[in-house]
Amino acid sequence: MKIENNISLKKFNTFGVDVNASKFLTISSIEELEEILIKEKNVFTLGGGSNLLLTQDINKLVLLIAIKGIEIIKETEDHVYLKSYAGENWHEFVLWCIEHDYGGLENLSLIPGNVGTSPIQNIGAYGVEIKDCFHSLETIEIETFKKHTFNKKECEFGYRNSIFKNKLKGKHIITSVVFKLSRNNHKLNFSYGAITSELEKNDIKKPTIKDISDAVIVIRNRKLPDPKEIGNSGSFFKNPIISKEHFEKLQKKYPEIPYYTISNSEIKVPAGWLIEHAGFKGKRYGDTGTHEKQALVLVNYGNAKGKDIFKLAKKIQKTIKESYDIILDIEVNVI
């Protein structure tokens, strides 16, 4: 274990923002993590850096969690319980599951980031969230350097939310996650219109999990910028949930506004639509802006600073509040 000094974090966050880490350590095993936490508690945990906006240098010890491995914990006739260590790349893990014909995560193909950070914001796409296949996770508590196990209920999952974004924020480091996946009779979810049309286009009538994954990859590549080409962190804001009365007022003014009914009294509206119709889509401000195909994605065209991106986010929030009386919550972790 060797602590490095003054490392640029540019290649460790998908926004590609260049800030300095005064101390940096790559962690390859749980033992190494325990060992360092005994000595040092002023740490900043880094996974895939895909849900992170860095607006300042980090003057803590940055721990890059690179613990690898996938293990079968248990198999029943219908299910497999798979443990993946935190440092596995999320998309590679999903592809590994598909190759072994383990079903459940195929709709979550091509999401950037690592397995260990996926439960923090309960990653989701195309009608599936990881909570749907989640079994449990293991952590090390920073303060006590003790191991803990959390089951699904204890993680308090919600829409892009969990206990690790709230009560336990910054208190635990996730070391592994166990998923319960199907071994046969996969329950496919292709309710999302874009998936259905992609399958129809390819004349696929009885899709496999691989077909769903392939369709999701095509759809994501069409709409979302590849962080290797244009720095970004996926959806920057959450889709807001508003009251039915509020929505009905908006709908009178904008009859074409898309929506999803959450309950009798609550409606979710796509933040991307609001941002586009407030005039921000594809607009560039210096080296930052919103993506030309998905206004909910803020981008770094090259040398944007975290502060520039954050300033644009504030400007969007202000405009959306003034135009629609809606508060947009930031989904990305801003440091």
Minimum CB–partner distance for residue 35 and ligand EPU (Å):
34
Alpha-carbon distance of 197 to 51, in angstroms, equals 29
Set 109, 160, 198, 233: catalytic member: 160
CA 208/CA 199 separation, integer angstroms: 11
Catalytic residue check, 160: yes
Residue nearest to ligand EPU (CB): 234
Q: Is 220 a catalytic residue?
A: no
Which CB, 176 or 290, lies closer to ligand EPU?
Answer: 290
Q: Which is nearer to ligand EPU, 177 or 269 (CB)?
A: 269
For residue 64, the minimal CB distance to ligand EPU (Å) is 21
**Residue 85 phi/psi, 5° resolution?**
-75, 160
Which lies closer to ligand EPU via its Cβ, residue 295 or residue 299? Answer: 295
Rounded distance, CA 261 to CA 246, Å? 13
Q: Establish how many alpha carbons lie within 13 A of residue 8's alpha carbon, considering only the half-sphere containing its beta carbon.
A: 5
Nearer to ligand EPU, 102 or 126 (CB): 126
Q: Is 106 a catalytic residue?
A: no
Beta carbon of residue 134, minimum distance to ligand EPU (angstroms, whole number): 17
SS3 per-residue string spanning 50-92: CCEECCCCEEEEEEEECCCCEEEEEECCCEEEEEEECCCEHHH
Residue 236 burial (C-beta neighbours within 10 Å; 0-12, 13-18, 19+)? buried
Residues that bind ligand EPU (CB under 6 A): 125-126, 223, 234-235, 238-239, 258, 270, 272-273, 276, 281, 294-296, 331
Pairing of strands 79-85, 58-65: unpaired
Min separation Cβ 269 and ligand EPU, Å: 8
Least distance (Å) between residue 226 CB and ligand EPU: 13
Look up residue 149 and give its two tokens: 């196990």
Q: Which is nearer to ligand EPU, 146 or 321 (CB)?
A: 321
Catalytic residue among 88, 106, 129, 331: 331
Residues assigned a catalytic role = 160, 235, 331
